[in-house]
Each structure stands twice: as structure tokens, then as C-alpha cells.
Amino acid sequence: MRKGQNRFVVGFLLVPVALYLIFVIWPYIQTFGYSLTDWKGQSQTFAFIGLDNYTALFEDDIFLQAIWHNILFLVFIPVITILLALFFAFMLNAGGRGRAGGVSGVAGSGFYKIVYFFPQVLSLAILAVLFGAVYRSDSGGMLNGLLMKLGLVDESAPIEWLNEPNMVLWALILVVVWHGVGFYLVLFSAAMQAIPRDIYEAALIDGAGRAHTFFRITLPLLWDSVQTAWVYLGIAAMDMFILVSTMTAGEYGGGPDHHSEVMATVMMRNFLLYGRSGYACAMGVVMLLLTLIVSVVMLRATRRERVEF
């Protein structure tokens, strides 16, 4: 009987594992192989150069600057998004106290969940166009137009949101946070709804305030969801290609003067414009390794004993 079960399991997994190896693992192996050559992309002939691409990579000031920008995204995007999503989810699920049930969300919480989730239905391409209009550097831009109406900005000197070196990264972070808060709000809300209301009511009877209830009850019981959100947002922060390439100046983005450059934009520029495909493959390998390291570190850093109820 057990032998028959083993045959069934092997037969069931054979095709999916084979497809995964062919379409996922093999391209990674190929990319690493190409990164050890001087491949130009178009030609089928290339020479083995060992680790020269990796040596050049860490002497490339633009790529090192791009890594630093990805690190900034990695720090601020998960922290801001998760904090806002947790706050809104808590208020929508346990922020109200005036009803007969003891603990409930604020009035109209169902409507608010739909409103907060709405940005998630927009694709990143639409999002880039939408915020491109918001950040326009004239009176037609939503932000500049509003500030001009309020008299905070002179019409002859509008703010160049995406062309100011000190502002462009924050402008991009705002877009990602605006897009992601709704999704993680719904994720955290689903986890909060599984928490028995008796726990909140007992805490209220004991005189616990909102802050104490959140940090002592809600957050520990939501920690698995927070950990998952942290990893996904960290992976997104290590990419950022679509928004940067679409919203910022330059071929494949990165402007002004490489102040919004990320690893993905540098890689695509080298691969598609400069014909340095082997060099670009080395960047891809470094991106993969850094993303894996970030995922492992985040899982380790946020690991804690499971709290059950």
C-alpha cells in the first residue's frame, strides 16, 4: 500500500516539478552562465571571462548608487505601508466602542474598506500615468495646482516633484504606499476578524485603552500576517522597475542624473541599450542574491513565538 502511495505521489509531482525546473530554475542557471561571459546579446559567440563582470559591477558608481536607492525603498516602503495598514485595519475592525456588541469597527467600516482597497485594482502602468499627472511640474499638475491656489507656490516657479534630486525618491515612495496600503489593510482586517471579540471585551473591562489593546492583543495575534507583508513589500522594494522607468526622466528612467536609479533600471539599460548583456546578467544575479538575503533576513528578524488563542 505504501509503495503504491509513493508511486502516486511521484507521478503527481513529476510534471509540475519538471515544468518548474525548465521554466524557473534553468533560466537562473543560464543567467549565471551568461554573467561569466562577454555576451553582447545579439551574437551567438561569446568568450568566458570569469568574474570580470562582477568585479566591474562593484566598481560601477551608478549601480552602487542604485543599490543604495533600493535600500532606502527597502527601509521606508514596508515600514510606512505596514504601519498605515495596521492603523486603518485596527480602526475599521476594533476602533469603535459605542455599540451594543462591545467592540466593533468605526461606523461605515465596510465602505471604507472598499475605498482603501480601490487603488489595488489599478495596474502599475495606470498608476504611473495617474501620478504622472499628479506630479506635473506646471499648474496642470494636481499638487502644483493645489499649492498655487493656496498661494504656497509661485506660478512662475512650480515644484519639479520628479526632477528634484531630493524629492524624486519620496515621490515614488508615496505612490507605492498609496497603492499598497489598501491590500494590506484587507489582509490585516481578515486576520483581525478571526480574533475572538471576547478577548477585546475582557481587555476593555480591565480598563485597557486603544493603544494598549493594539500592542498587547492585536499586534501579537497578527504577527504572522505582518511578517508575510514585510517580506512581500521588501521584494517589491528591491524591484521598482515599472514606476521608475515610467515616471522618471531618462532611458528606462533613473533621472534626474541617476538620482532615482534602481538596480532593475541599470540592468535593463545595459542589456537593451548598451549591448552589455553579460554584464547585465551579472546584475541580475546580484539582484537575485540580494532579494533572497533580504527575504531570509526579514523572516529571521521578524520571527517570534506563535501566539495562539
Q: What is the pLDDT along the chain (309 residues), one digit of tens a residue?
A: 465 677 777 778 888 889 999 998 999 999 999 999 998 877 777 899 989 999 999 899 999 999 999 999 999 999 999 999 998 888 887 765 554 445 566 677 778 778 888 888 888 888 888 998 999 888 788 898 898 888 888 877 888 899 999 999 999 999 999 999 999 998 998 888 887 777 777 777 777 777 777 777 788 888 888 888 998 998 899 889 999 999 998 888 888 899 999 999 999 999 988 889 999 999 999 999 998 998 888 878 777 666 555
Q: Which triple of cell numbers denotes residue 51?
A: 568574474
50, 36 contact by CB (below 8 A): yes
Q: Which triple of cell numbers denotes residue 92?
A: 475599521
This prediction has a pTM of 0.87
d(CA 264, CA 239) in angstroms, rounded, equals 6
Burial letters 180-213, b for 16+ CB under 10 A, else e: bbbbbbbbbbebbeebeeebbeebbeeebeeeeb
- 3-state class (DSSP) for residue 104: strand
- 3-state class (DSSP) for residue 48: strand
Closest alpha carbon to 280 in 39, 117, 80: 39
Q: Side chain identity at 87, as an amino acid letter?
A: F
d(CA 291, CA 289) in angstroms, rounded, equals 5
Please count the CA atoms within 13 angstroms of the CA of 169 that sit on its side-chain side: 21
Burial letters 125-146, b for 16+ CB under 10 A, else e: eebbebbbebbbeeeebebbbe
Close Cβ partners of 301 (under 8 Å, ≥ 6 residues apart)? none
d(CA 209, CA 204) in angstroms, rounded, equals 7
